[in-house]
Amino acid sequence: MAMSKDLFLALLSMDAYNRGYGAGLTLPNDSPLIGNATVYKDSSEILRDPITKEPLDAPAGFYAVAYKTTKDIGTKETGGVIPEGTTLIAA
């Protein structure tokens, strides 16, 4: 069954809520895969203090994660297609 892109985006936003620091759920081996997308980068990796190298997102109460699609998501009939290789960001 083809999943609509909107449903997939909703799943990614829930995944973002439970990933990174303070995650409520721990996935086996902290898998970077979620359906036809893979986690690319998150704010804890990128936003680091230039001197101490401590993450800057958690103290600010911020978290964002970027996903890259590994296949086309959705169909024309279910509301449109997100092409393979698209970067999606949830915060």
Residue choice 48, 81, 86, 90 for contact with other proteins (CB under 8 A) = 48
Sheet holding 65-69, edge to edge: 33-34, 37-42, 65-69, 87-90
CA 16 – CA 72 distance, rounded (Å):
20
Residue 72 lies near other proteins (rule: CB under 8 A):
no
Q: C-alpha 35: how far from its chain's center?
A: 11
Q: C-alpha 46: how far from its chain's center?
A: 14
Residue 85 lies near other proteins (rule: CB under 8 A):
no
Residue 29 lies near other proteins (rule: CB under 8 A):
yes
Q: Which stretch binds other proteins (CB under 8 A): 2-10, 29-37, 74-82, 83-91?
A: 29-37
Residue 22 lies near other proteins (rule: CB under 8 A):
yes
How far is the first Cα of the chain from the last one, in angstroms, to the nearest whole number?
28
Nearer to other proteins among residue 9 and residue 40 (C-beta): 40
User: Rule CB under 8 A: which residues touch other proteins?
Assistant: 22, 26, 29-32, 38-42, 45-46, 48, 50-55, 58
